[in-house]
Structure 1
Amino acid sequence: MLSQNRKILIWSVIIAALFASFLIYRFAVQKRVEVVSPAPEALWQASKTYKITWKSTNLSRVGIVLIKGVQARDVRWLAQNVSARRLNYDWDIFAWEEPRDDYRIAVFEYPWKEGNKIAYSEFFTILGPQFASCDNLSIASEWPFVPSDFPDARKVFVTSRTYTGNLERLEGADRRCQQEAEEKGFEGNWKALLGDDASFALSRLNLQGAFVMAEPAARLPEGKACHRLLGSDFNEFFAKLSDSLESNRGKIDETFLKDMQDVWLGKIDSESKRECTVISAFSRTEPRDLALKYSFTTTCQNWTAGTEVVPGYPSQPGGAAEFAACFTPTGVRTDAVGLAGLSSGVVKVEGEDFLTVSLGKSCAREQKLICVQQ
């Protein structure tokens, strides 16, 4: 029989061995990462450089992203394939970075795959830069910015919410723009850049003047704001909706550019398709029935339809329903039972991605609106 002291000694050795094994696993095997900076509720200034710092164990490389918003829907790379042993990264914050208080930094095991270690900072704030004039901001950003009192400046924003093609006509679309403008704190009257079968967008809206982003890029000491220039006039602005994505990335704010890829437009001018459009983007899986791929309306029936197909389709046995007809590029006649509206989108031309303003999209899809101050 073992003595009591010997039993205690044996158990002490076992416990010590287990604790040592835990420490070995904790510090020599287990992977860990922790974001140290930015600290909770930190205030960082746009146009300045700050250190993102972290602690890590048993990681070789890390990636770093900036997360905007509580819902984490807007994520942007800051750095890839960084040595984890560096424990810090110098981030030059863009001069025109959007001022807001719901940013986070994520540092994670690189390259990313499911199960990798990831850590998040607490929320922190990026403050807008202070410039003596918008000219100073233009020089710093290498892009034109104009003051809020610039003559005939036409402010523009893309809605945060998405809508089906049932906008309750043009009046309903304008009402949605006005509501979101007021929620964002934008003054004045606002209308949607949208046309229907009776009214082209060009004829119903005041589109005179230089086009600028409604969201201020910076505040000046005297209380004025600087707005990013989108075009010296409507034609220059609208041309960007048919330009390549690569070209636009140097001209348009990245978030704004992304939003403009899925907006309802309808008939902008007399050049817009009047009837019969191929539906290029459906709300669900692309159908096999040719009739479902064509829409006679190009405005979701004057922005009153939010479904995929016209009423009465498919026809009931013995029924005599008649549908509008369209013709394929090869001249084949087909019923057109889909419902679509002309929209912005992205098409590939010779291997390069271009924006377009004439993509037919199912009226059941949810998209945004471009809103213009009147």
Structure 2
Amino acid sequence: QEQYFFFRGRAEEAKRDLLKGERQLRFLMGIEATDGRIIRPVDDPTMARVDFDWYDILAETLTRTPEIRRQKWRVKEQEISLMAAKNNLLPQLDGVALQRFLGLGDELWRADSNQLPFAADGSQAFENMTDGDYQEWRLALEFSMPIGNRQAKLAVRNSQWNLAKAKAVLEDLELELSHSLTDAVQNLDASYQLMSTAAMQGLSAKKQVDALRAQFQEGSVTLDFLLDAQRRLSDAQVAFYRSLMQYNLSIVEVHYRKGSLAEYCGVLMQEGEWPQKAYWDAKIRARQRDASYYLNYGYTRPKVISRGKVAEDGLDASFDPMASTPLFEPSDSSEPTPADTENLELLPGGPTEVPDVDPADTPGSPADAKTLESVLKVETVSAETPTNASDPVVTASSSEAFDWGALEIK
């Protein structure tokens, strides 16, 4: 009877936690707390092994992550500021043209007009100026260059310091994201191994319960041993489902780290139409650029860091990723040079493959999982076929620790 109430309390506690999580989901969705229904997921959690190519997801992380893209635009801004500061070091040569009408007279202006020249007594300056008899003009070339250029050089040094700071922040951000992605991939492999171990534990617990039940029916063991085995079987079931949940959360974490979480959740974005005024302005700008002559008068030019929107279905082989500072490699050149993200050198200590568990090497594991009646009630597993090269490859290895098809999990 004590075991019965123990299991009943565990079931009531699990139901309480389930309803609490459902109410939190309703709050995030902005709907009422109770409407007589319970929200539950439509899709079953996947149990298939998901493998990501490390080089592909690292390049995708350094290309699609919003933090990286935002910092690259800051580097672009500092490069433009440095270009403007260097242009101030150039000497200034101006062409000047001037024409003026002079107004001369004893008085500035009065009501009566006397039309007297400026040399006569009582002449008016305003009348002489409007007559246009006295004019002067000037054509000149003015050349100016500060001695030492201290202010301009100080501005250049300040811009160089800001650019170096922005690049250092970008390198630190790339390093941090690469470590976070490594942790996510290793956590994914470890979660799968823990799920496999929990499933094998459940199979072993089920086998022990069946054996003790047969012995109890024969009268060779007491009821206490059977109830204790059933309790361990219940704990194994809970551990399996928790590890299954953690494994699916690990898949989500990898997509979050590499910037494809919205696509993984089925959320796609598309730019709508612009107002007609924007198309008119773009046409005017295009005509102006076509009729103008491009003059490259600056010392340096910032490199291109964006070539348009990034495809949401993954990386395209023909798409040139945004240029950036070389990853983890300081540059001695004063000119900012973009990095080639296709040939990145990875830090040592990348993701390591966690070996699969061999049932033959596991003590107490069944020789043939298909002959066992599983107590882990899970429905059949379906693996989604990847739609493009950048999607994760879902494979079912023949060297798994057990046969998932033998589990009747619900």
Both structures adopt the same fold (TM-score exceeding 0.5): no
**Higher RCO (CA-CA < 8 Å; seq separation 6+):** 2
Structure number with larger C-alpha Rg: 2
TM-score (norm 1): 0.19
Structure (1 or 2) with the greater helix fraction: 2
